[in-house]
């Protein structure tokens, strides 16, 4: 009975992009629905982050084989390593089910085939018990940037390791003079006949011997960046929307200028490892005291290398040295909880890096740190990544130098908060802690964080929705700051707002008009379909607001309608 149905706006109140309160305040960079957005302005476009560029949900595939069919026992005593390796090799491309149990593993599990998914029965039921560290299995020696002896596993590697080959291939064409500007979509080329609409390419630039590109990304403040000069560059993927005689039009705005002196080019983009993931299980490491910063043995959970459209979701990571190293393209890490019961250091740290996003256009969302790390969240050599909807005991937003550029931190609960959230590391010689475009939007905490210290980053940083109001003397020249408070800022999650606007504007999977939708509890509502974001459906309400609703909470009929509409035109 429709009379007994709660209004849809109430059901999605906690997920709505737009704040429902009349006290909502809007940024001068975005406005209420993106009407103030300028692609060439200081605020970057983060809407392409994550699995399938945010345009499709990660598939919920059922297990096709079981590790027990390959000899795994899962009794917490038997060594199941050989069985897991056989399953990964012989069932490549399939969903490998890991039933409830405790599986003892003593070696690295490498995944190099597309479509391979390790799927547990739930993080409370399936536990992978790793009994050896990366240093035991693959001994290395290394030095920190300051010369302290350590191992490479202090900042890399995973005991589950997704390994692909570099998806960025040969140069297809160089960019013709005069090049193109940041915010443009049209790229001039000598001959566009080899390209076609819908083709994915990589936009590539590299610094010249004079360091002019490094100077550009640091907005004329390339202090202490000598190791980047002549070497540093970026590559990110875009899709060709239109082909002209001597130009191609991309479906996303350029993140930086394309100049011939920066070897600006369009390259092939063809990932050989994609559509693989790990989900619904717990990583457990030995309960050994955490020794010290840079003295880690490599009890690290996951690394993604050179892959695209892969994921890690619904995981618990317990007693790790580091959690997840994310070095791919368009990957998603979601619903990961970090815990520890091993002896911590004096400030409570039980590990080094929680999640380090060093890749391009990745999404890290809905995470929870119930323990401390030296760096809960890290970006380094990173481009276009989104960190959203997460929380921690004291969440640090580590910018680890190496020119992380245009990364977004949005709708985060930093726990205790305070100035410590800006604590950042990184070696000498590779620039300030971040390059331009770092954006902090709706960052909460018990204590006021203020801004990072002077010299932390160049001009062109964005801070909107920090707790507290800064005096003029506390603000930094060249940084965009707005004193809107986190509870009042709308939209609270900038990434979701940008994604909803792009999908609605581009017509990706959109319906021509409003239609009736039903939930699994029998509620009904009218809305226009606006796309999919992760596990949520984007709906456009009759009053024009965009809202998010869990796909799993829709009825079977409505889910079928969503799947039909979700395919890009």
Which tens digit of pLDDT belongs to each residue from 90-141? 999 999 999 999 999 999 999 999 999 999 999 999 999 999 999 999 999 8
| 282 and 143 co-located in one domain | yes
| 244 and 256 co-located in one domain | yes
- Burial code of 346-379, b = ≥16 C-beta within 10 A, e = fewer? eeebbbbbbbbbbbbbbbbbbbbbebbbbbbbbb
Q: Is 473 exposed, middle or buried (0-12, 13-18, 19+ CB in 10 A)?
A: exposed
Q: How many CB atoms lie within 10 A of CB 264?
A: 25
| 158 and 73 co-located in one domain | yes
| 116 and 135 co-located in one domain | yes
Q: What is the pLDDT of residues 160-181, one digit of tens each?
A: 999 999 999 999 999 999 999 9
| 214 and 143 co-located in one domain | no
Query: What is the per-residue pLDDT for 526?
Result: 84
**Are residues 478 and 219 in contact, defined by beta-carbon separation less than 8 angstroms?**
yes
| 265 and 186 co-located in one domain | yes
| 106 and 147 co-located in one domain | yes
Domain annotation covers residue 244 = yes
CA dist 279 and 302 (Å) reads 12
Cα–Cα separations (whole angstroms), residue 438 to 80, 380, 390, 457, 560: 44, 12, 17, 9, 38
**Are residues 261 and 208 in contact, defined by beta-carbon separation less than 8 angstroms?**
yes
- Alpha-carbon Rg of the chain, whole angstroms? 23
Domain annotation covers residue 489 = no
CATH number for the domain including 358?
Answer: 2.160.20.10
Mean predicted confidence (pLDDT) in 213-224: 94
**Are residues 387 and 412 in contact, defined by beta-carbon separation less than 8 angstroms?**
yes
Residue 87 in this model has a pLDDT that exceeds 80:
yes
| 130 and 147 co-located in one domain | yes
Domain annotation covers residue 398 = no
Q: How many CB atoms lie within 10 A of CB 477?
A: 6
Domain annotation covers residue 552 = yes
HSE (CB half, 13 Å, CA atoms) of 420?
18
Domain annotation covers residue 437 = no
Of 52, 61, 53, 31, the closest CA to residue 43 belongs to 31
Give the domain-ending residue among 247, 269, 291: 269
Residue 7 in this model has a pLDDT that exceeds 50:
no
Residue 243 in this model has a pLDDT that exceeds 80:
yes
Give the domain-ending residue among 339, 373, 407: 373
| pLDDT band, very low/low/confident/very high, at 154 (cuts 50, 70, 90) | very high
What dihedral do alpha carbons 496, 497, 499, 501 form, nearest 10°? Answer: 160
| Four-residue CA torsion sign, 268, 403, 220, 250 | positive
**Are residues 402 and 424 in contact, defined by beta-carbon separation less than 8 angstroms?**
no
Q: What is the pLDDT of residues 267-299, one digit of tens each?
A: 999 999 999 999 999 999 999 999 888 889 999
Residue 22 in this model has a pLDDT that exceeds 60:
no
Residue 3 in this model has a pLDDT that exceeds 60:
no
Mean predicted confidence (pLDDT) in 174-203: 96
Cα–Cα separations (whole angstroms), residue 509 to 18, 52, 237: 21, 13, 21
Mean predicted confidence (pLDDT) in 323-352: 96
Q: Which residues are CB-contacts of 556 (< 8 A; sequence separation ≥ 6)?
A: none
| pLDDT band, very low/low/confident/very high, at 533 (cuts 50, 70, 90) | low
Cα–Cα separations (whole angstroms), residue 566 to 3, 507, 529, 553: 30, 10, 9, 17
Of 401, 404, 462, 410, the closest CA to residue 433 belongs to 401
Residue 560 in this model has a pLDDT that exceeds 90:
no
Domain annotation covers residue 564 = yes
Residue bearing the bigger pLDDT, 349 or 14: 349
Query: What is the per-residue pLDDT for 20?
Result: 40
Q: What is the pLDDT of residues 543-558, one digit of tens each?
A: 766 777 888 788 877 8
| 222 and 309 co-located in one domain | no
Residue bearing the bigger pLDDT, 299 or 7: 299
Tokens representing 265? 């080019």
Query: What is the per-residue pLDDT for 5?
Result: 31
DSSP assigned state of 551: G
| pLDDT band, very low/low/confident/very high, at 454 (cuts 50, 70, 90) | confident
Percent of the chain with pLDDT over 90: 77
| 519 and 546 co-located in one domain | yes
Residue bearing the bigger pLDDT, 440 or 554: 440
| pLDDT band, very low/low/confident/very high, at 507 (cuts 50, 70, 90) | low
Domain annotation covers residue 387 = no
| 158 and 201 co-located in one domain | no
Of 512, 553, 503, 555, the closest CA to residue 531 belongs to 503
Query: What is the per-residue pLDDT for 264?
Result: 97
CATH number for the domain including 5?
Answer: 2.30.30
> In what helix (H) or strand (E) does residue 216 lie, and over which residues does it extend?
helix 212-217
Q: What is the pLDDT of residues 516-530, one digit of tens each?
A: 888 888 788 888 887
Domain that holds residue 563: 1-17+508-569
Residue 314 in this model has a pLDDT that exceeds 70:
yes
| 158 and 287 co-located in one domain | yes
Q: Which residues are CB-contacts of 203 (< 8 A; sequence separation ≥ 6)?
A: 187, 235, 236, 237, 238, 250, 254, 255, 258, 264, 266, 267
Residue 500 in this model has a pLDDT that exceeds 50:
yes
Query: What is the per-residue pLDDT for 164?
Result: 98
CA dist 58 and 38 (Å) reads 30
Whole-model pTM? 0.89
Give the domain-ending residue among 227, 242, 269: 269
**Are residues 158 and 301 in contact, defined by beta-carbon separation less than 8 angstroms?**
yes
Number of domains within the chain:
3
CA dist 204 and 168 (Å) reads 9
Domain annotation covers residue 431 = no
**Residue appearing with tokens 């994550």:** 50
Residue 217 in this model has a pLDDT that exceeds 80:
yes
Mean predicted confidence (pLDDT) in 11-18: 39
| Four-residue CA torsion sign, 86, 138, 332, 52 | negative
Residue 12 in this model has a pLDDT that exceeds 50:
no
| pLDDT band, very low/low/confident/very high, at 568 (cuts 50, 70, 90) | very low
């Amino acid at each position: 009975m429709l009379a007994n149905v709660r209004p849809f706006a109430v059901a999605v109140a906690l997920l709505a992009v737009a704040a429902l309160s009349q006290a909502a305040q809007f940024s001068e960079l975005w406005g209420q629905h993106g009407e103030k957005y300028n692609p060439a302005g200081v605020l970057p476009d983060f809407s392409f982050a994550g699995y399938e560029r945010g345009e499709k949900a990660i598939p919920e595939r059922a297990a096709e084989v079981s590790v027990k069919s390959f000899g795994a026992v899962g009794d917490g005593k038997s060594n199941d390593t050989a069985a897991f390796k056989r399953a990964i090799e012989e069932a490549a491309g399939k969903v490998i089910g890991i039933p409830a149990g405790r599986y003892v593993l003593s070696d690295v599990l490498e995944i190099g085939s597309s479509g391979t998914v390790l799927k547990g029965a739930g993080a409370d039921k399936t536990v992978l018990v790793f009994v050896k560290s990366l240093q035991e299995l693959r001994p290395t020696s290394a030095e920190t940037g300051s010369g302290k002896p350590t191992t490479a596993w202090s900042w890399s590697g995973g005991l589950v390791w997704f390994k692909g080959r570099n998806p960025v291939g040969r140069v297809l064409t160089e960019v013709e003079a005069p090049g193109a500007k940041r915010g443009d979509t049209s790229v001039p080329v000598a001959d566009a006949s080899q390209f076609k609409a819908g083709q994915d390419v990589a936009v590539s630039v590299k610094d010249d011997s004079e360091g002019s590109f490094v100077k550009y990304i640091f907005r004329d403040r390339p202090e202490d960046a000598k190791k980047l000069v002549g070497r540093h560059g970026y590559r990110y993927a875009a899709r060709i929307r239109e082909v002209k005689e001597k130009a191609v039009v991309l479906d996303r705005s350029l993140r930086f200028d394309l100049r011939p002196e920066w070897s600006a080019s369009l390259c092939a983009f063809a990932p050989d490892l994609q559509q693989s993931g790990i989900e619904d299980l717990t990583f457990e490491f030995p309960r050994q005291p955490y020794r010290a910063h840079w003295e880690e043995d490599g009890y690290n959970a996951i690394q993604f290398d050179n892959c695209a459209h892969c994921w890690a979701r619904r995981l618990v990571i317990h007693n790790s040295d580091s959690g997840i190293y994310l070095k791919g393209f368009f990957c998603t890490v979601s619903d990961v909880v970090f815990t520890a019961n091993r002896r911590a250091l004096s400030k409570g740290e039980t590990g080094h890096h929680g999640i380090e996003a060093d890749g391009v256009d990745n999404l890290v969302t809905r995470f929870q740190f119930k323990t401390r790390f030296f760096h809960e969240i890290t970006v380094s050599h990173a481009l276009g990544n989104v960190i959203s909807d997460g929380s921690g005991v004291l969440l640090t937003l580590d910018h680890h130098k190496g020119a992380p550029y245009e990364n977004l931190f949005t709708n985060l609960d930093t726990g205790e908060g305070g100035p410590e959230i800006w604590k950042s590391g990184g070696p000498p010689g590779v620039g300030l802690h971040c390059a331009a475009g770092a954006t902090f939007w709706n960052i909460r905490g018990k204590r006021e964080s203020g801004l990072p210290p002077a010299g932390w980053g160049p001009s062109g940083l964005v801070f909107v929705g920090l707790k507290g109001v800064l005096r003029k003397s506390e603000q930094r020249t060249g940084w965009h700051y707005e004193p809107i408070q986190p509870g009042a800022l709308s939209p609270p999650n900038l990434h979701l707002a940008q994604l909803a606007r792009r999908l609605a504007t581009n017509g990706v999977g959109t319906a021509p008009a409003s239609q009736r939708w039903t939930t699994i509890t029998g509620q009904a509502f009218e809305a226009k379909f606006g796309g999919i974001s992760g596990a949520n459906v984007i709906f456009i309400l009759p009053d024009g607001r965009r809202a998010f609703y869990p796909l799993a909470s829709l009825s079977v009929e409505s889910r079928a309608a969503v799947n039909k509409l979700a395919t890009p035109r």
